[in-house]
Every structure is written in C-alpha cells, then in structure tokens.
Structure 1
Amino acid sequence: MRLALACLALTSLSAPAWAWAPDAAAVKRLESGRPYVDVRPDPSGSAGVIRAAIDIAAPREVVWSVVTDCGLAPRMVASLRSCRVLERDPAGRWDVREHVSRPRILPPVRSVFRSEYQRPARITFRKAGGELRMLEGEWRLEPLNRGQATRVLYEQRAAFPYRAPDALIRMGMRRDVPQALLALRREALARAGR
C-alpha cells in the first residue's frame, strides 16, 4: 500500500486512458468528509489498481505543496521508510524519486519513478527503476468552492516484485490508502493554518 501512496509522494504519465472520475456514491462519501478508496485486481494481471479521493478544505496550491513534499511523505504513509529526489528539472516540470517502503509482513521494496508536473492540477508518474514490476498513475487536484477547497483524485497501478497473494497485497492497500489520504488532509489543513 505504501507504494500505493508512496506515490503519495508522487508521479508520471501523460493522459492515461484509465483515468477515472468518482461516481455518485463516491461523491456522496467525499461530501460527507470521508475518503473514497477502491482497490481492485488489475485486468492485466498485476497486483492491483487503486482509485482514491478525498476533499480537503484548502486551496490547490497548498495541497500541491504537501503532495510534492518528499520529506513529508514518510510521515503520511506508514510503510514508507524514505523518499529521495534523485534528479530534478531546474524548471520544476519533472523529477525522479526513490521510495523505500517496508510493508508490514513483506520485505522492503525500492521503487524509482519519474513524475511529470502540471502545477497545480496534475502529477503523472511512471516506473523508472527499482523493484516493482509495474508502477504508473496520477494525482489530480480539482478546485472546489471557488478555489477554497480541493478534491484530490488518485489512481495507481502497481505490480509488486515478490510472490505474495494478490488478495493480501490489495487488503493492505485498502487499509493503508485511507490513512494516507487522511494524513494528506491533516498536513494540508495545518499548512493552510486551519
């Protein structure tokens, strides 16, 4: 899961054909203040596809600053041990990050991904190295309430490097992703002074 949201720390793709929008039930959940998380088997046979969202009463620029803060990522994602920027575009359009995570009962996993930034609306990410068999996804930050709030939409496909029952991996994602989204909200509200 950590890698699921280790990508909380972030990411790269162009416009994935699998981008999603929350349905009416998901929107109702978000409007009640709760995070939305759906974890499913990946049709291509990977460990899982995560679709998650949360509404945050802070402007997009504030939420963006938290999502892209590599140093903050291990505080927000329980299984993430470290986040390090390996390479960076001087103009801020992309970077390459390394995450080292330690899921509860599984060995540590190193992931390296390239994130493409369209500030303050979108971050796409894609595997650039490391041990994961596959990693790709995106963050979208949509303004709410005339820009005073933000809906965070997250989607990720990941295939882990070790043999473990996919159902077990997805179970960990279902448990960890909501906690990471709530931590994102907490940090963004603190940064916004709320």
Structure 2
Amino acid sequence: MAGLSITLWACAAALFLAAPAAAFDLPPRAMAALAQGRPYVDVQPDPDGSSGLIRAAIDVPAPVTVIWTVMTDCDLAPKLVADLKSCRVLEADPAGAWDVREYISRMTFLPPVRNVFRSDYEPERRIRFRRTAGDLAVFDGEWRLEPQAAGAVRVFYESRVTAPFHVPGPLARIALRREVPTALLALRRASVARAP
C-alpha cells in the first residue's frame, strides 16, 4: 500500500520456496537511497501491459525476529498499509509454514476491494505470496530479509499486481511510487518501536 492507491495490494502481503532466498541486484541509486536512510522503490510497467512490477528495499535497524513478527502480524497490517481496513487469516498450517489471508481495503469514492492470498513462509528469511481469490486479477511476489552489518536487516520486496478497476498505467505507477515508501517506512517504525 488513498485515491487510486494500489499500494495496499502491493504491500499487503504480509503483508511476503524451494530455492535459497536471493535478493535482486540493487542499482547505484538504490544503494545511495539506502545509505541515506531512505527506502528505494522502482515501479515499472509489466511487459504484458496488464500489471505493474514493483521492486523495493529498506534497511531496518531492528532484530530480524522483531521485523518478522511485525510483517506477519495480521492485526497490525491495517496500521502499516494505507486504506487497508481489515486482515483476517482464513486458513493456516498448524506448523506455521503457510497461511491464507483476506484483506479488505476501502478507498475514498471506490467500492471495497477484497484480496485473498496465500503466503508461504521461510521464517525470518522469506515470504512468498500469490493471489488465490478476490478482486485482483494478479497479485504475486515475495518479501526477503537479509541481515546486514551492525545489526540492521535489509528488507526486499518484489511483486506484480493489477488493480481490480481500470487505472491508467502512469497514474498507478505514480501512486505506487508515493505509497510503497510510506508502507516501508511504517514497517521500519513499527519494528524499531518493538525492538528491545
């Protein structure tokens, strides 16, 4: 995850299989943003033209266990993602390897949007998510957590998402470029606040 917000679907995963987690390569401008304490976000049109591709990263100065807890807390999700009104776990693996969540968003002047997705968990390393039902035609991606020097964790986010209603591509990308960093900063604030 205001107006034409698609971010909530992009950031909702949580809020995140067989191969080891490997982050995408960060370009120099991403490294510069992260060095200055800012989140990095890149939003591109999908080659098929029906969805957007999002790549983002932020450094969080908190233990990975705390960040993981914040990312996977369904009750906390509406506080982190703009326009998200509710998060509900519909099904869960007793061992904690996966769950299915329902997100309901409500944007001004638009009907509610329902998104149901399955998340597969590699604890404290990766969350892979994919749409299973709801209003979005496309919603898949992953979160990755990579410990850095001095106790920080670099949180990577990649997703492909399509709005449930027609939004001109350039407008959707503007909204994502504005709102994805807001969600990442909310994740960092919540994690730092809960760190010992």
Q: 1:142-167 deviations in whole A, cap 9, x for unaligned? A: 00126x21000001100122122122
What is the rounded CA distance, in whole Å, between the counterparts of 1:58 and 1:96 in structure 2? 27
Deviation of residue 106 (structure 1)? 3.7
Establish whether residue 6 from structure 1 lines up as the match of residue 9 from structure 2: no
The count of aligned residue pairs is: 189
Alignment counterpart, residue 46 of structure 2, candidates 42, 46, 67: 42
What is the rounded CA distance, in whole Å, between the counterparts of 1:14 and 1:27 in structure 2? 28
Which residues of structure 2 form unaligned runs of 5+? 1-6
Deviation of residue 105 (structure 1)? 5.0
1:1-194 → structure 2 map (5 Å cutoff):
1-7=7-13, 9-11=14-16, 20-145=24-149, 148-193=151-196
* TM-score normalised by length of structure 1: 0.90
The alignment's C-alpha RMSD in Å is 1.9
Deviation of residue 14 (structure 1)? 5.8
What is the rounded CA distance, in whole Å, between the counterparts of 1:122 and 1:88 in structure 2? 17
Deviation of residue 100 (structure 1)? 1.0
Which residues of structure 1 form unaligned runs of 5+? none
Deviation of residue 103 (structure 1)? 3.7
Q: 1:84-143 deviations in whole A, cap 9, x for unaligned? A: 110000000000001111244543211100000001100000011111001100000000
Deviation of residue 6 (structure 1)? 1.6
What is the rounded CA distance, in whole Å, between the counterparts of 1:51 and 1:105 in structure 2? 28
Q: 1:33-56 deviations in whole A, cap 9, x for unaligned? A: 000011111112223111111001
What is the rounded CA distance, in whole Å, between the counterparts of 2:186 and 2:15 in structure 1? 15
Query: Which has the larger displacement, 51-60 or 163-172?
Result: 163-172
What is the rounded CA distance, in whole Å, between the counterparts of 2:26 and 2:108 in structure 1? 29
What is the rounded CA distance, in whole Å, between the counterparts of 1:184 and 1:5 in structure 2? 10
Distance 1:49 1:105, change over 3 A: farther
Specify the code of the residue in structure 2 equivalent to 1:34.
R
Q: Is the 8 A contact 1:2 1:103 kept in 2?
A: no
What is the rounded CA distance, in whole Å, between the counterparts of 1:70 and 1:116 in structure 2? 15
Specify the code of the residue in structure 2 equivalent to 1:2.
L
Q: Percentage identity across aligned positions?
A: 57
* TM-score normalised by length of structure 2: 0.90
Task: Give SS of 2:91's match.
Answer: strand
Task: Give SS of 1:33's match.
Answer: coil
